[in-house]
Amino acid sequence: MSNTIIWTIVILTVLGLVLSLVLYWVARKFKVEEDPRIDEIEKTLPGANCGGCGFAGCRAFADAAVKAGNLDSNYCPVGGSDTMKKVAAILGCEIKEAAPLVAVVRCNGSCANRPRTNDYDGARSCKVKSSLYSGDTGCLYGCLGCGDCVAACQFGALSMNPDTGLPVVDEGKCTACGKCVAACPKRVIELRAKGPRGMREYVSCINKEKGPAARKACAAACIGCGLCEKTCQHGAITVTDNVAYIDFGKCKLCRECEAVCPTGAIHGVGFPKELDKEAVKKRIADRKAKAAEAARAAAEKKEDDNG
Amino acid sequence: MAKLTFSIGGIHPADCKLSRGCKIETLPLPPKVYVSMFQHLGAQAKPIVEVGDSVKAGQIIAEPGGFISAYVHSPVSGTVKSIGLRKDLAGFNVMHVEIDVEGDEWAEGIDLSPELVTAIPEDRDFILDRIKMCGVVGLGGATFPTHVKLNPPPGKKADCLILNGAECEPYLTSDFRILLERTDEIVVGAAIMKKVLGDCPCVIGIEENKPEAIAAVRASLARLGYPGIRVEVLRKRYPQGGEKQLIDAVMHRQVKSGGLPIDVGAVVQNVATSLAVYEAVQKNKPLVTNVLTVTGDCLPVDRMHNYLFRIGMPLSWIAEQAGGVPEGAVKIISGGPMMGKAVANFDAATVKGSSSILYLGEGTRRRQETPCIRCGRCADACPMGLEPFLLKKLYQYGDPAGLEQNAAQDCIECGCCQYSCPAGVPLLDNIRMAKAQVMGIIRARNAKK
């Protein structure tokens, strides 16, 4: 009896020792050399695994960054500049400063602005809806209001406003990962620079139809009249395919475009004061009058010189 | 004789053929027509007329834009008012030719007499050319250009021409009416197509709920005496008129995944297409008219109609002729209730394939979606043997490889799964998206090869 117990203990001990040696040998033989910086970088990253950087997750991002040795094409939108500085310190390389971005919904087709022309009775999904038909309003381009972007957001930054039927971005929570941009079948959402102290100007419409058709579909549509383009002193606005676009890299936040827009399609957000349209319009008129005066004076001078 | 049917799946929706007793009436001409350049499957047609041109009915106004495309003819005589974008049924901008109607003068060489011409031309190429030049497309729903379908690629031979008179969609009665009223012409059309396909046998399949049509076609066959054409009675079951289901029912052959009917020696044409082929070949009359049913569950029977319409007539104008939109209608559908399209823009113009204006009442709203209870009814109902519940999950979890393995691309979008789902899950909506995704992947892969 006691013999059996002793033999059992002996056999198991020997077996354990032999197997541990085998395991030790295998671990040595097939050891994967991994750069310790990958672990370090992964710890620095936010760990959201959202895929906003274009990689499958934070680990994949860290791996790619270490392999590349620089951060030229890798950027974590969720962590932003602070995180990227830390990552750059680990890698020992320089980074370019990138302006923080935020998701912007470029549609103001609320129930009041954009009358419903029919009633949608299908699956509550923008993707499905856009595959079936043009939508429940006269606008072919605007928000469909089924909330695919809200479902795609992992940070709870998007919600539907029940009054307007449009998504609303919570700037504090938005990390600019770009998931909502990809989820929107109409490409209504764009990532734009947050702007100094959150101040920014944007065109809240992407309707490419000609003015009358766009206006008929929605009272807040950009009709492509080009007034903003003519007014802008900084060359930030271009009108292509009957819709204006403000280049946030060039915009100086003078708000003149917002004041002249006949349909109110240009929105300014984050400004401390409400826009005094009349004052801005007067400023533009004064400037134009001055320019005309100067031109006339120059012409007269030229005439005098000639004469 | 045994009634034929397909082997798996299918559903039995209520028949609702309420307008079966309404004779075909010819609509008057509207002040304007809008002829879409997207009347068919494939490439958009290219307009060859200019603003200000005067056109006659039956004159070519647009050329095919590719191999799979079709000629479009003016349905009326008048002046071309404009050529530009106009919203179609689904609200999307499509190129339309707007024509102001003046009188009703037809182009030369078109025989408008009602006499039946039974002598079939000998030359196969002549027949195919006539079909092509008259812009004939499949009128069963998919509007695939008929001359392409009747000209199988080399090495493939048709063993059987199946004429689809099933009309398995509830409510629709346009095919039934033409089977009754234009029987002889349809039979001659069948004989013409049969000849083009190398004198293969021809089966006219009609569902059992249309005994009058079955009798009429049998009588016509006996009278006209074309050999090799017979009528088969099909069981009433949806989607009996689906191409692959019909081949299964009549020939007991299965079209493989990704294959075409011609791979198993079958060519399927709708009875309305047969009528169009007859008119094109024997009368040189282009496809500018078709029959459409105005019906619905909230429409009194005395306001139901089967209309012979010209393409380009706005749906809303046709509805006005029939007494306007009835009270209580919550949905307007163009096509059958199972596969038809909800009308987003009621001012949209009719096209070659328009088959109905269907008004549905309050009871037809979608049910609230509740969680799947895993009863498996969708899988039982699927006539293609797919597993709709699984495909929906795979699509939602973003697994295109899994979707392809489970043959999402084989879905015929008949809607049996969604119809049979007790939980009101929007299965077809998701599978349709999945199918588009998988088809895209397959096309990209084939393009690479």
Q: What is the ipTM of this complex?
A: 0.84
Domain closes at, from B343, B365, B387: B365
Same domain assignment for residues B303 and B382: no
Q: Which domain holds residue B400?
A: 377-448
Same domain assignment for residues B325 and B222: yes
Same domain assignment for residues B400 and B340: no
Domain closes at, from B342, B365, B388: B365
Count: domains in chain B = 2
Q: Which domain holds residue A132?
A: 100-194
Contact B433 A127 (CB under 8 A): yes
Same domain assignment for residues B15 and B132: yes
Identify the CATH number of the domain in which residue B180 sits. Answer: 3.40.50.11540
Alpha helices in B150-242 (DSSP H): 174-181, 183-196, 211-224
Within a domain: B355: yes
Within a domain: B389: yes
Domain closes at, from B304, B339, B365: B365
Same domain assignment for residues B359 and B381: no
Within 8 A by CB and 6+ apart from A149, the residues are: A126, A158, A167, A180, A183, A184, A189
Contact A128 B430 (CB under 8 A): yes
Same domain assignment for residues A84 and A115: no
Within a domain: B52: no
Question: Which residue from B344, B369, B430 is facing A133, i.e. has the nearest CB?
Answer: B344
Within a domain: A6: no
Identify the CATH number of the domain in which residue A122 sits. Answer: 3.30.70.20
3-state helix, strand, coil in chain B (%, to 5): 30, 20, 50
Within a domain: A10: no
pLDDT score at A1 = 66
Alpha helices in A92-197 (DSSP H): 126-132, 148-152, 179-183
Within a domain: A307: no
Same domain assignment for residues A123 and A173: yes
Count contacts between A and B (CB, < 8 Å).
50
Domain closes at, from A194, A228, A255: A194
Within a domain: B77: no
Same domain assignment for residues B348 and B383: no
Q: Are the beta carbons of B71 and B134 closer than 8 angstroms?
A: yes
Which residues in chain A come in under a pLDDT of 50?
none
Nearest residue in chain B measured CA to CA from A131: B433
Residues of A in contact with B429 (CB under 8 A): 122-123, 125, 128, 132
Same domain assignment for residues A78 and A122: no
Residues of A in contact with B341 (CB under 8 A): 133
pLDDT score at A67 = 86
Phi first, then psi, for residue B53 (nearest 5°) are: -65, 145
β-strands B32-36, B93-101 pairing: antiparallel
Contact B426 A140 (CB under 8 A): no
How would DSSP label each residue in A227-250? HHHHH-SSS-EEEETTEEEE-TTT
Count: domains in chain A = 3
Report d(CA B72, CA B59) in Å as an integer. Answer: 9
Which residues in chain B come in under a pLDDT of 50?
none
Within a domain: B430: yes
Identify the CATH number of the domain in which residue A74 sits. Answer: 1.10.15
Within a domain: A126: yes
Q: Work out the minimum CA distance from B429 to partner chain A, whole angstroms.
A: 6
Within a domain: B300: yes
pLDDT score at B142 = 87
Dihedral sign from CA coordinates of B300, B306, B310, B311? positive
